[in-house]
Amino acid sequence: MKKAAKMIGIAVPLMVVVALVSLRLFGYEPRDLRAGLWLTGDQVTEPVTDWSFTDDHQEIFVQTRTRYMMPHSVTTYCAFYDGDLYLFSAYYQGGVFPEERGWNRNVVRDPRVRLKIGDRLFDQTVRHVTDADTREAVHANAVAKYPQWTSPGLENVHILRVEG
């Protein structure tokens, strides 16, 4: 009996380590309604001066940093406006930013993110946009880019500016 308990005590942590290493190596990307972990792709190291190429991408991935050292990644919409890239977090049932989304809480605590656009990875920082004029203009660009999107209204769409 003690031998079986010892074997289980060794096997379970070993399986967890193997699973985490596999996920790290091969990634575990999010889907529309399921969060993911690590993003994989080709790392871009040079600064991005023109984000207009993002208009060709309907959804992008955002990887944030959790308190417990595991990445948390989601899909989101993005829009290019006045030379900058913006990310969206829509609260369809209302709620207080950042409490309704785990990834929003993560970026408020630690604004460093990894974006996956196409097959490329970009390490960036983000900032919550509160300026009303900027929010209106960016939201209008998003509505134009995503005609199929039913926005819950500007008061329930939280916008994050990618800052590099």
**Which range marks the domain in which residue 142 is found?**
29-162
Does 84 fall in a domain? Answer: yes
Split into its structural domains, the chain has a count of: 1
Kindly report, residue by residue over 88-120, the tens digit of the pLDDT: 999 999 999 999 999 999 999 999 999 999 999
User: For residues 15 and 90, is the Cβ–Cβ distance under 8 A?
Assistant: no
Does 2 fall in a domain? Answer: no
Does 117 fall in a domain? Answer: yes
pLDDT score at 34: 77
Does 46 fall in a domain? Answer: yes
User: For residues 79 and 51, is the Cβ–Cβ distance under 8 A?
Assistant: no
pLDDT score at 98: 97
Span 59-72, mean pLDDT?
94
Does 13 fall in a domain? Answer: no
DSSP element (H, E) containing 115: strand 112-117
Question: Quick check: 83 pLDDT over 90?
Answer: yes
Read off the pTM.
0.85
Q: Tell me, what CATH number does 103's domain have?
A: 2.30.110.10
DSSP element (H, E) containing 79: strand 78-81
